[in-house]
């Protein structure tokens, strides 16, 4: 083994030399950072000072600034404003752990150490058949996220089955939902990507509970999966945000790689990313969970760790950087899970109560969902709402959809009515003219009206197809007139 051994040793020596050089540089840069901060009139925070941070000078400064901002914001509760009574129950773990912690006694003599080494992960060790894993468990009785109560999810019904395009869900009680979100060691996929934190939310006796299974070491993964498997065995279906493409394939892979039985493989699965994309297509260009929280739930996150920083933060934790950033990740994941439940409740509410929908554009998206699931009555009520409350563009689209839907039912008079009302909104709507021309020509045999609409369409569009139609109807009209004679 001498050859390989020698080469590996030389590689190591070379690396150590490089690290030494880098160390010198970064020590110099640390000094520069201190100068920078002091010149700004702000003494470096105790928490930041001893934190080992690597990177270029500007990166270090950015990191420090971010961290200081977060310490500030963590003192203010990062919660919605509408419902204060639930605040205590809904305190996020970061609130406790972000503050410097006293150890070595109590009172004035206690030594305050920098939080990073003293930050304690919220939770406890969970013992499973496959070993230990860290469990953080939080309950949220009567919690509101922003303006929306999480418990509304318990009142959900057919809407979710319509969204999931999976009739199995219609039969399943909302209490059976398991909300899942993962935090991973990488974003590029592949079997080696580790979901080091799996959050699972569910309702227990009417109270929303979030369990987070966290691997303090990669070796805790079998226990983590075992804990999740036990949880999934209680579940009737899964709810995720982008879980169809990301979280669940990853979790399924980990079950295979760890040779742990996976009870979640065939569970029905509602992915709210796909639903939200469809419903809010016309209104929101940013359909990320955090934007939906802001716009739909009225909740704004503060001091949230950006998703892109999570893999590196976990890696640093594994190599000895304290638990601070893990607490941030737990908080981030917790919010994602709570938001899932709250969002599910809101989507069900606006689906079932078209008049409660604040934006007519959303009614249109919801109508499409309803028609897709064969729920014509709800669909039409959404269209009526959009017609009544929307701007002219919403109205036009709603009436078009109504006309199309009526045609499908062969309710031609309703269809004619809908298209005529489109023309009330926009007399220059070519498509409405064409539809009317067809309806009058084929269904009503009213060639005069058909010709009028066809001519207008042709005039508006100048297209050959329309001209051909005009000619044909003219011929039919003449023929019809002759026969009448």
Partner 1 sequence: MSARAVYASKPARTAVFPEWLDHRVVAALTQMGVSTPYTHQVHTWERLHERQHVVIATPTASGKTLCYNVPVAHAIHENPCARALYLFPTKALARDQESTVRRLLSLARLDAKAVVYDGDTPADIRRKAKKEGSVIITNPDMLHTGILPHHAGWAQFFGNLKYVVVDELHQYRGVFGSHVANVLRRLQRVAAFYGSRPLFVGCSATIGNPEELASRVLGRPVVGVGESGAPTGKKTFLLYNPEVVDPVMGTRASAFRTAAKLAADLVREDISTLVFCQTRRGVEIVLRYLQDKFRQDVDIVRRIRGYRGGYLPTLRREIESDLRDGKLKAVVATNALELGIDVGELDAVLLAGYPGTIAATHQRSGRAGRRLHPSLSVLIARSTPMDQFLAQHPSYLLEASPEQALVQPDNVEIMLAHLRCAAFELPFGTAEAFGNLLVAEAQEALTCLAQEGALKLSGERFHYVADAYPAAEVNLRTALAPNVVVYNLETNEPMAEVAAHSARFELHENAIYQHEGETFEVTRFDPEQCKAFVRPVEPVYYTTAVDQTRIEMLQRRQEKSIGASLLQQGDVEVVENVVGYKKIKFQTHENLGYGDISLPPRVIETESVWLVFDGRITESFNPEAAALALDGIANAMAQVAALRLMCDPRDIAFSVQTAVPEGGTQTHWQPVIYMYDTHEGGVGLSERAYDEYELLLTDVMALVSGCPCDDGCPVCIGPVAPGGTAKAALAVKDTAKTILALLTGQTLLRSEVRS
217 is a site residue for partner 1 (CB under 8 A): yes
Q: How near is the Cβ of 303 to partner 1 at its closest, in Å?
A: 23
Span from 3-11, 63-71, 104-112, 456-464 in contact with partner 1 (CB under 8 A):
3-11
Cα 483 from Cα 479, distance rounded (Å): 6
Contact partners, residue 458, CB within 8 Å, separation at least 6: 466, 467, 469, 470
Interface residue with partner 1, options 41, 104, 105, 190 (CB under 8 A) = 190
**What's the rounded Cα separation, in Å, for the pair 182 and 192?**
15
**66/258 Cα distance (integer angstroms):** 37
Per DSSP, helices labelled H in 390-463 are 392-408, 412-425, 430-438, 447-461
- Minimum CB distance to partner 1 smaller for 3 or for 482: 3
Counts of helices then strands in the chain (DSSP H, E): 19, 11
Minimum gap (Å) between residue 259 Cβ and partner 1: 9
Return the number of the residue (7 or 165) whose C-beta is nearest partner 1.
7
Question: Is residue 187 part of the contact set for partner 1 (CB under 8 A)?
Answer: yes
Least Cβ distance, residue 222 to partner 1 (angstroms): 9
- What stretch of H or E contains 85? none
Tokens of 158: 């057919």
Nearer to partner 1, 1 or 111 (CB): 1
State the minimum distance, in angstroms, from the CB of residue 331 to partner 1.
21
Which tokens is 286 given? 């940013």
Which one, 318 or 423, has the nearer CB to partner 1?
Answer: 318
Angle between helices 376-389 and 392-408 (to 10 degrees): 150
Assess 15 for contact with partner 1 (CB under 8 A): yes
220 binds partner 1 (CB under 8 A): yes
Parallel/antiparallel/unpaired status of strands 177-183 and 148-149: unpaired
Stretch that binds partner 1, among 11-19, 73-81, 293-301, 365-373 (CB under 8 A): 11-19
Among 84, 315, 445, 475, binds partner 1 (CB under 8 A): 315
Q: Build a one-symbol-per-residue string for 253-292: x at contacts with partner 1 by CB under 8 A, - elsewhere.
A: x--xx-----------------------------------
Please report whether residue 192 would count as binding partner 1 according to CB under 8 A: yes
Exposed, middle or buried by CB within 10 Å (0-12, 13-18, 19+), for 144?
buried
| Nearest partner of 163 among 457, 466, 366, 384, judged by Cα | 366
- Cα separation, 367 vs 377, whole angstroms: 9
**Among 55, 173, 218, 428, contact with partner 1 (rule: CB under 8 A):** 218
User: Between residues 85 and 259, which has the closer beta carbon with respect to partner 1?
Assistant: 259
Chain residues in the site for partner 1 (CB under 8 A): 1, 3-8, 10-12, 15, 185-192, 194, 217-220, 252-253, 256-257, 311-312, 314-315, 318-319
């Amino acid at each position: 083994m001498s050859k390989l051994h020698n080469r590996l040793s030389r590689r190591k020596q070379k690396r150590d030399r490089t690290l030494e050089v880098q160390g010198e540089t970064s020590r110099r840069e640390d000094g520069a950072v201190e100068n920078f901060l002091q010149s700004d009139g702000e003494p470096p925070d105790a928490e930041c000072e001893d934190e080992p941070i690597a990177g270029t000078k500007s990166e270090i400064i950015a990191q420090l600034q971010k961290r200081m901002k977060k310490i500030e914001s963590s003192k203010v509760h990062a919660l919605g404003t509408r419902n204060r009574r639930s605040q205590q129950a809904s305190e996020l773990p970061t609130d406790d752990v972000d503050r410097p912690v006293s150890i070595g006694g109590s009172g004035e003599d206690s030594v305050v150490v920098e939080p990073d080494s003293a930050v304690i992960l919220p939770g406890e060790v969970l013992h499973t058949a496959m070993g230990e894993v860290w469990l953080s468990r939080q309950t949220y009785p009567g919690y509101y996220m922003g303006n929306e109560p999480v418990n509304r999810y318990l009142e959900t019904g057919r809407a979710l089955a319509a969204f999931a395009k999976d009739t199995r869900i219609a039969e399943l009680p909302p209490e059976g939902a398991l909300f899942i979100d993962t935090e991973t060691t990488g974003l590029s996929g592949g079997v080696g990507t580790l979901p080091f934190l799996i959050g699972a939310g569910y309702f227990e006796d009417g109270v929303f509970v979030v369990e987070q299974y966290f691997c303090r070491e990669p070796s805790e993964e079998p226990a983590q999966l075992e804990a999740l498997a036990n949880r999934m065995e209680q579940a009737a279906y899964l709810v995720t945000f982008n879980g169809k493409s990301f979280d669940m394939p990853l979790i399924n892979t980990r079950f295979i790689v760890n040779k742990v039985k996976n009870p979640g493989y065939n569970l029905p699965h509602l992915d709210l990313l796909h639903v939200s994309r469809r419903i809010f297509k016309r209104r929101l260009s940013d359909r990320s969970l955090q934007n939906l929280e802001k716009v739909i739930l009225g909740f704004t996150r503060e001091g949230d760790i950006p998703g892109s920083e999570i893999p590196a933060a976990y890696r640093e934790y594994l190599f000895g950087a304290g638990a601070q950033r893990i607490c941030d990740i737990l908080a981030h994941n917790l919010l994602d899970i709570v938001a899932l439940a709250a969002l599910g409740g809101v989507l069900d509410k606006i689906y079932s109560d078209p008049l409660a929908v604040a934006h007519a554009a959303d009614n249109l998206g919801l109508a499409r969902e309803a028609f897709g699931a064969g729920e014509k009555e709800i669909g039409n009520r959404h269209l009526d709402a959009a017609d009544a409350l929307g701007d002219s563009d919403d109205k036009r689209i709603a009436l078009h959809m109504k006309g199309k839907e009526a045609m499908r039912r062969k309710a031609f008079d309703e269809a004619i009515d809908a298209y005529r009302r489109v023309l009330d909104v926009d007399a220059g709507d070519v498509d409405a003219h064409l539809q009317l021309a067809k309806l009058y020509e084929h269904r009503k045999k009213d060639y005069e009206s058909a010709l009028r609409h066809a001519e207008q369409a042709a005039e508006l569009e100048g297209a050959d197809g329309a001209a051909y139609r005009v000619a044909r109807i003219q011929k039919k009209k003449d023929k019809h007139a002759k026969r009448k004679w």
